[in-house]
Structure formats: structure tokens, C-alpha cells
Structure 1
Amino acid sequence: MGLFLNVINLNRRHCIALASALALAGINSGAAQAQTMSSPPAGPTIVVLGDSLSAEYGIKRGSGWVALLEKKLTTEKIAANVVNASISGDTTSGGRARLGALLDKHQPNLVVIELGANDALQGLPLALTQGNLSAMVQSVQATGAKVLLVGIQVPPNYGRDYGERFARMYGQVAKANKVALVPFMLKGVADVPDSLKWFQADRIHPLEAAHPIILANIWPELKKVLR
């Protein structure tokens, strides 16, 4: 099984430090919050609802996978308005609380949901995370918009059973609600032997160089949903 941030051999003390780092990221980051990537063109509106993995934390603005997505759409001659509504440190509860206003404001055709990593780092119950993800998916569907669910995986110190249940959770939500799924956004980044080279000094947030790989993981499913 691929492992989120496989390079980190964590213990419980380190997990607390990681949670604190992600919370700090939420305080320090703001530029990517509900940011429209460009002037709205004709075509569908895509809202990305995520955390620091999508909010360009610690990297140059315009170099994260969401910004690269906009460039990819242009290259593919697909007119679309991309709105990055990601906030570093956000949980599924935070995303759920923000979603209604985002739907009202942007009236998207597609919502990409990339949340859950901070839930695990904060030790929140899986049932809560899964319930929030399902509720967000259903709220989007109620507007007639489509959903792409983007999954993440947890470090090995959480235990094999928890890790497998956490990874399955995204598939269960996607299957139950009949939505598209990217099982592991950090495939090829966090699950490779030399994964250290892809991460910032905190060993949590991917470097700029990793974001093209992240987009490559997400793009095939996203393109299908846009058809």
C-alpha cells in the first residue's frame, strides 16, 4: 500500500508536531484562499476545496498543482474558470462549513474535494471524516455540479489497520455517491524510495518540483469528469 509521507518514520510525539505545523500553515497561508486563478473565461467553473497540499504552502505562487491545472486546461484548449478555495490546515469539518458559501458564490460545474489529511493528523474519528466527505459530495450534487474526490494516505505509525481503513474511506465515499476518485494524490511522490527529495524541510509539504506529478495523478480523472 502506498503511504502518505512514507519517508517519515513517525512516532506519536512527531504526529503532534506535524499537526501543529499544519495548523501553523493555516495561520500563515492566505494567498490561495478562495483565489480565482484568472479572469473567468467562458466554460465551466472548477472549484478546488482543499488544504495545504492544494494551497501552495511554502512554494512560489502560481507553481502549485491547481495553478498548473489552469495551464493544462489552456494547453488542452478547454475553457474553464479555476477557483482555488484551499486553506492550509483545513479539515473536512472546515471544508464542509465553507462549502455552502462557495457554491452560492461561484456556482461551479465541478468541485474537487481534497481534504482529510489534517483530520488524521488531529486524531479525528474516521466516522466524522467520512461523514463530512459524504455530506460535501451530496451538497455539491444537490446543485447539479459534479465531484472529483481526491484521496490521501496516512503515515505508517498510525498502524496498518487504520491506514488501510483510512485509504478505503475515500473509495467508499466515491462508490456510495457515484463520483470520480483519485485514490492517492501523492502517488509517485510520497511512496517512492527517494521521497525525501520531493518534500520541503518540514517533510510534510511537497516542493514545487512535486506538483507536476500531483497534477499528473489528478488530471486523467478530472478530464473525464469535464467531458
Structure 2
Amino acid sequence: MSDRNDRTSGTRSTDRTPTGEIPREPYGVGPAYPSSHTQFIDEAPTRAGRYAAAEPAGTPTVGVPTASGAPRAAASGATGAAGDDPYYAPSAELTVSDGVRDVGMIFLGSSMTAGYGDPKGLGWVGRVVARTQHPDLDLTAYNLGVRGNTSGDVVARWNAECHPRWAGRGERRLVLSVGTNDLVSGLTMARSRLNLANVLDEATNAGIGVFVVGLTPTLDDELNRRIEALAEAQADVCARRGITYVDCYRPLATHDQWMADLAASPDRVHPGQAGYGLIAWLVLHNGWNDWLSLS
């Protein structure tokens, strides 16, 4: 990904740390994360810079929604660099109707999506849904997180499990978060990237609105290096398609309460109530209302 700027803190690429190092530029979207666990506030989440991950210079922007929420068409046959997944122009558009909208929203992923380990039983999905109530939104939400799933498992099951739940709904939405188990199970970066691209392309081609929630850090430094690399690859896949991607890795990798919550959990892998609240905060404050075309 090119031309990335720090939209959250205003840091320029020429700024240096006290040790003389040039800080790494962030990927994904979102404001600077608070230094301690934040509580949800009454105001509507801010509309952060949507699709902030930049496209490579000279390439078309694909599927970026207009003000109405429908994706813009892009030049057909456009492709990325050799070996990369192609830029994709969906053949159908997500339709956002006026008045009360009948929305079917599906959350698809693995144990973090399922909210495993949260004593409140809400996870980040339950908290996000609770904050997505709006007089113009008749929302039906489904959590299809399956513990242990890889991106390959999601590719295999998403059509069969999602489409029956969208039956009869006027507007179809998909929130996808998967990938850490790819690293644990030995999937290659290329295969993991392709799996994500396949789901995104099939969904957008069917006129389904997609939102991607990124990977979260662990207590394992070596695994974290691989998670960060995969998170950046996922951000690039989404940027090529104009799909909202929320970076959860970097904000949480340096967040004391996230790490403390992991350390206190029984398996030291899944967070508790505080950790899932942090993920929900990131989702809600990084283009969520904008993606849903809510004012």
C-alpha cells in the first residue's frame, strides 16, 4: 500500500523518534486510541475517514460507495500488480432505501467474533449491535462466529449459512473478521489473502455490503509479528475493493488494558469483558455509521 498518512495523530513520515528512528506509518482507518479503556458515550460514533487505506497511484477506485451508500462503478478489467488479487468491479450494487430499512446483518468469523471468554456473553458483536439501534433501521443481526475457523472454513460455509438468513430482508450486510487461525493452522499468506478476497468479491458481486474487522494482538511476540503482516495484507485487499477495514492490531498492541485482559483470561488468548469492549469501540468509531449510511 502506498501514500499512507497518519490520519490519527498527524505524524509526518519525516518526523523522528527521540532515538532517531522514523516511526512506521499506520494502515487501516481510525482515530488515535485512548490510553485507557473507554466507555461508550451517548453521542453517535464519529465518522472516521472511510476507506482511508490508499490505492496505489494510477489505479481505479473500486466499489467505493457514493453518498447514498451504493458502490461506484469502476473500469472493467482493471487489475493490480502481478501476483496480486485483481481490482474488482462488482456487477450489483447495494441498495439503501429511504425510510425504515429492513436490514439483515451477519457477523462471520471465529471465536473472537463469537465472543468466547466474555463473562457478559456479549463479545464485541453484541456490544456493537446494542449501539446500532436507530429509528430508520429495522435490524436483524446474526452472529455466525465458529471457534477455530480459518478463512478457508469461512469460504466453505458463508454462502450456505448467510443467504438463508438474508431471505426476505431488504438490505444485506456482512461483517467479516477472520485470520488468526490461518496462522496457527499453517495457511500461507497468499492463501489467506485469496480466501478473504474471494468472500469479498462474491459478496459485493451479489450486492451485499461488507465491513471487515481486523486481527487483534496476542501475548506471543512471534505470533504478533505474523498477525501484523497478515493484518496489513488484509487492509490492502480491502483497500483494493474500497471496503472498510478497521485496524485493531496496532491500537491494541500498545494498549495496557488489552494486554492485561488477555493475561488475566483463562486461556491467555481471548479477552474478557474489557477487551471485547475495546474492539467494539474501535469498530463503532471507525466508519461504522458511515458504512450503514446513518446520520
Q: Does TM, normalized by the shorter one, top 0.5?
A: yes
Of 203, 216, 224, which residue of structure 2 is paired with 1:140? 203
Match among 170, 176, 185 for residue 113 of structure 1: 176
Show CA shifts across 1:94-147 (max 9, x none).
011111113321226111110001001222100010000000101111210111
Q: Answer yes or no: is 1:46 the counterpart of 2:112.
A: no
Q: Which amino acid aligns with 1:177?
A: R
Distance in 2 (alpha carbons) for counterparts of 1:163 and 1:136: 20
**Deviation sequence 1:75-110 (CA, Å, 0-9, x none):** x44431111011111100001111111332122611
Partner of 2:288: 222
TM-score normalised over the length of structure 2: 0.57
Percent identity, aligned pairs only?
Answer: 23
Does the alignment pair 1:90 with 2:154? no
The code of the aligned residue for 1:97 comes to A
TM (norm. structure 1) is 0.73
Deviation at 1:68, TM superposition (A): 1.3
Taking the aligned partners of 2:224 and 2:119, their CA distance within structure 1 comes to 34
**What is the CA RMSD across the aligned residues, in angstroms?**
2.5
Q: Distance in 2 between matches of 1:79 and 1:139?
A: 25
Structure 2 CA distance for aligned equivalents of residues 165 and 58 of structure 1: 26
Amino acid at match of 2:210: V
SS of structure 1 residue aligned to 2:122: coil
The residue type equivalent to 2:266 in the other structure is A
Q: Closer, same or farther in 2 for the Cα pair 1:62/1:149, shift >3 Å?
A: same
- Taking the aligned partners of 1:192 and 1:118, their CA distance within structure 2 comes to 22
1:182 is aligned to 2:241 = no
Q: Deviations over 1:15-47 (max 9, x none)?
A: xxxxxxxxxxxxxxxxxxxxxxxxxx9621110
Q: For the residues of structure 1 that align with 2:177 and 2:224, how far apart are their CA atoms? A: 23
Which residue of the other structure, out of 101, 104, 107, is the alignment partner of 2:160?
101
Higher helix proportion: 1
Gaps of 5+ in 2: 1-23, 27-99
Letter matched to residue 157 of structure 2: R
Query: 2:235 aligned with 1:171, yes or no?
Result: yes
Instruction: Indicate the SS of the match to 1:84.
Output: strand
In the TM superposition, what is the alpha-carbon distance from 1:165 to its structure 2 partner?
3.0
Q: How many residues align?
A: 186
Counterpart check, 1:192 vs 2:255:
yes
Query: Matched residues in 2 for 1:120 and 1:63: separation?
Result: 26
Distance change >3 Å, CA 194–CA 46, structure 1 → 2: closer
The answer on whether the counterparts of 2:258 and 2:278 sit within 8 Å (CA) in structure 1 is: no
- Alpha-carbon distance in structure 1 between the residues aligned to 2:228 and 2:113: 23
User: 1:118 is aligned with what amino acid?
Assistant: N
